[in-house]
């Protein structure tokens, strides 16, 4: 039986999903029995999905009025020095 440390390292690296079924089997058995490792795996997937979504939003170009909106926001911000 794999330890939680071994499973979390395998899940975190992402290599176990592409490994042969013989190498994945102990991970699946452990995940079936350990709620903490299942939660860790869910959390890792969620973070990966959110990071991908955030990266996509940075890849988009700002709108044509971005410069105007930024300039207006900077000029009207009372916390910035004159």
Q: What is the mean pLDDT of the chain?
A: 86
For residue 14, what pLDDT is reported? Answer: 78
The whole-angstrom separation of Cα 19 and Cα 2 is 16
Asked whether residue 82 is assigned to any structural domain, the reply reads: no
Residue 56 lies in a domain: yes
The answer to the question of residue 54 being in a domain is yes
In-domain check, residue 63 = yes
pLDDT at 82: 60
On the question of pLDDT at 71 being above 80, the answer is: yes
3-class DSSP state of 6 = helix
Q: Is the pTM of this model over 0.95?
A: no
Mean pLDDT for the stretch of residues 16-20: 82
Residue 80 lies in a domain: no
Flag whether 22 is in a domain. yes
Q: What secondary structure letter does DSSP report for 63?
A: P
Residue 40 falls within a domain, yes or no?
A: yes
pLDDT of residue 53: 84
Number of domains in the chain: 1
The answer to whether residue 81 is domain-embedded is no
Helix axes 21-33, 4-13, angle to 10 degrees: 120
Q: Which domain holds residue 21?
A: 4-75
């Amino acid at each position: 039986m794999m330890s939680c440390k071994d499973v979390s390292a395998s899940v975190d690296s992402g290599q176990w999903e592409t490994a042969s079924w013989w190498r994945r089997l102990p991970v699946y058995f452990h995940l079936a029995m350990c709620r903490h490792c299942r939660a860790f795996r869910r959390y890792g997937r969620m973070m990966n999905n959110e990071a991908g979504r955030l990266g996509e939003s940075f890849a988009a170009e700002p709108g044509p009025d971005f410069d105007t909106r930024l300039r207006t926001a900077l000029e009207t911000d009372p916390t910035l020095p004159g």
